[in-house]
Amino acid sequence: MPFLALDSGVSNPMEEAVQSSHAGLVEKVANYLREHIVMDHFQPGQRLPERTLAVELQVSRTPLREALKILATEGLVVISPHRGAVVAEVSPADIKEKAYVLSVLEQAAAELTCINASDDDIAELQALHYEMKACFLRRDRQSYFRLNQEIHNRIVALSGNSALIDMHANLSRQLYRVRYLSNQKNEKWATAMEEHEAIMAALESRDPEQAGRELRNHLGKTWIKYANGEPIA
Amino acid sequence: MPFLALDSGVSNPMEEAVQSSHAGLVEKVANYLREHIVMDHFQPGQRLPERTLAVELQVSRTPLREALKILATEGLVVISPHRGAVVAEVSPADIKEKAYVLSVLEQAAAELTCINASDDDIAELQALHYEMKACFLRRDRQSYFRLNQEIHNRIVALSGNSALIDMHANLSRQLYRVRYLSNQKNEKWATAMEEHEAIMAALESRDPEQAGRELRNHLGKTWIKYANGEPIA
DNA sequence: GTGCCAAGAATGGCATACCATTTTGGTCCT
DNA sequence: AGGACCAAAATGGTATGCCATTCTTGGCAC
């Protein structure tokens, strides 16, 4: 029931285009599974049996297996020999490590963006920032989350470094679920907002060091509390 | 003729254990292809036709296809729909971007290593460093290269951050070939050696900022010249 | 002679069948 | 009653076959 029609059914949960059309079946399956894992429709640790999944998705096992291999190298599922694939469970330690790397990548991105971005790009960032601030004042967590993601992603995109962008997107996916949950119950909302102000100020003044530092610090604070104990879901 | 016996024939070109034994066929194939790509036994742009490769490797197309999908997500090959897989050609721009990210990752690793590594770990790093210096004085580029890699990898390993280690290993692989070639014709060898001295000094004095900065600077210098023009091979 | 079109050959995409390993449930022995 | 062992079912791993698409080449027309 939740399945059928791989490319249409899922209302795009991630920002990035899924470009499902006219792409190979494996890509469709991989995108489908990726989204559902990332959106927490599959619990971590849940097994992904090939045959049953194949009939549910109306595809054969071959493309499904290839998709699972891809997701495995992306770190979203774990494949054990002769045991099959399960949705990767991210321990608090994993989250901590990956969040740290994410902060490092975004720091680097901020530095590059300060140097490479056009004035219009920065202006657009600020526009998004004020939109987000409006959501903050209205206590609209949903829209705030979306805009927050948009801003972070755009800063990375503006860096102009494709390798950096790809690695960031990959890591970002793996943390999507916990990031979403984090947003829901964030008590330090006002603090996060202030940090964003500082980030924007540094970007506006084109200070790479400062912008990078602020962004890394912001991410560090945002994530640390989820790294120490307390169940993820 | 160069093939047959996937797991034995290849004399381990990379440091990391290939753990070929009792691993699935896809892993063997993936490791095999990875090594040969990384060691430049396959030219960039070279096609990798499934059937012919399959008979050469004495495996069926299915595990080969899955291995290629893995290598594709790792960025070592590019798969076009209905066109098949080709060895990814890394443009100078790609090298520049990836090298930049690599430098950022190693910078972060150095910071963490300053904090987390034991005194014995640092001592071992210094031992390797002096071994490398000996190779430098003897003008033994081959051994110098091996030790240089060993040191960089160990600094990252000592960071203790698995996510960081994995991403670094992945990027490092993609740059292995050009790094090797870079080592062969590096005129600024003495300078590189001095930079390594500075890195070690910062590590010894446990100065995260300094160690990170030195390492990033070192990598930046090492790679920039290969990023601007001039053919890779 | 050159350019275009068509037919066939080559190649990748997907499905399925078969084999190996693992898991599980039941029975028998202690 | 409990544990160990064996068999059968489930599941992943590999091989192969067929279909769709793309590349190639030979011939025809301009």
If chain B, 233 residues long, is cut into consecutive pieces of 10 residues, what is the mean pLDDT of each piece? 40 37 82 94 94 96 97 96 94 92 98 97 97 96 96 98 97 91 86 95 96 95 60 39
Note the pLDDT of residue B184.
84
Q: Is the CB of A9 under 7 A from strand C?
A: no
Band of residue A62 on the pLDDT scale cut at 50, 70, 90: very high
**What per-residue confidence (pLDDT) applies to B143?**
96
Q: B13 or A94: whose pLDDT is higher?
A: A94
Q: What is the pLDDT of residue A195?
A: 96
A230 has pLDDT over 90? no
Give the gap in angstroms from C-alpha B92 to the nearest C-alpha of chain A: 13
Above 60 in pLDDT, residue A160? yes
B191 touches chain A (CB under 8 A): no
B127 touches chain A (CB under 8 A): no
User: Vertex A181, ends A175 and A185: CA angle to 5°?
Assistant: 140
Shortest-distance nucleotide from A65 CA to C1': D12
Q: In what order do the strands lie in the sheet with A47-48?
A: A47-48, A84-87, A77-80
pLDDT at A13: 39
Angle ∠(B218,B224,B227) on CA atoms, nearest 5: 145
Find the range with the poorest average confidence among A34-38, A226-230, B99-103: A226-230
**With contacts defined as CB-CB under 8 Å, which chain A residues touch B216?**
none
In the predicted model, is pLDDT for residue A20 greater than 80?
no
| Alpha-carbon gap, residue A69 to A67, rounded angstroms | 5
- Note the pLDDT tens digit of each residue in B180-190: 888 888 888 99
How far, in Å, CA of A212 to CA of A106, rounded?
7
pLDDT of residue B220: 87
Which residue, A56, A93, A98, is CA-closest to A75?
A98
Strand order across the beta sheet in which B84-87 lies? B47-48, B84-87, B77-80
Say what percent of chain A tops pLDDT 70: 86
| Mean pLDDT confidence for A151-158 | 98
Give the pLDDT band (50/70/90) at residue A227.
low
Residues of A in contact with B105 (CB under 8 A): 101, 104
Question: Which of residues 1-30 of B have CB within 7 Å of strand D?
Answer: 24-26
Name the residue among B26, B98, B104 with its Cβ closest to that of A108. B104
Q: A40-61, pLDDT tens digit by residue?
A: 899 999 999 999 999 999 999 9
Dist CA B23 CA A79 (whole Å)? 12
Mean pLDDT for the stretch of residues A68-75: 96
Q: What is the pLDDT of residue A226?
A: 60
By C1' distance from the Cα of B62, the closest nucleotide is: D14
pLDDT at A21: 55
pTM of the model: 0.88
Chain A nearest CA to B76, separation (Å)? 13
- H helices of B19-118, in order, are 25-38, 50-57, 61-74, 92-116
DSSP SS3 for B87? strand
The pLDDT confidence band at residue A66, using thresholds 50, 70 and 90, is very high
A-contacting residues in B 62-81 (Cβ below 8 Å): 62, 65-66, 69-70, 72-74, 81
Q: How far is the CA of B133 from the C1' of C30 (A)?
A: 70
- Cβ atoms of B174 and B118 within 8 Å: the answer is no
| Residue B95 to residue B227: CA distance in whole angstroms | 6
Query: What confidence score (pLDDT) does residue A4 get?
Result: 37
First to last CA, chain A: 25
User: Nearest-CA residue of chain B relative to A107?
Assistant: B104
For chain B, which domains are there?
6-87 (1.10.10.10), 92-227 (1.20.120.530)
A-chain CB neighbours of B94 within 8 Å are 162-163
Nucleotides on chain C that have an atom closer than 7 A to a protein CB are: 10-17, 20-23
Does strand C come within 7 Å of the CB of B83?
Answer: yes
List, in sequence order, every residue forming a beta bridge with B77; answer none if it has no partner: B87
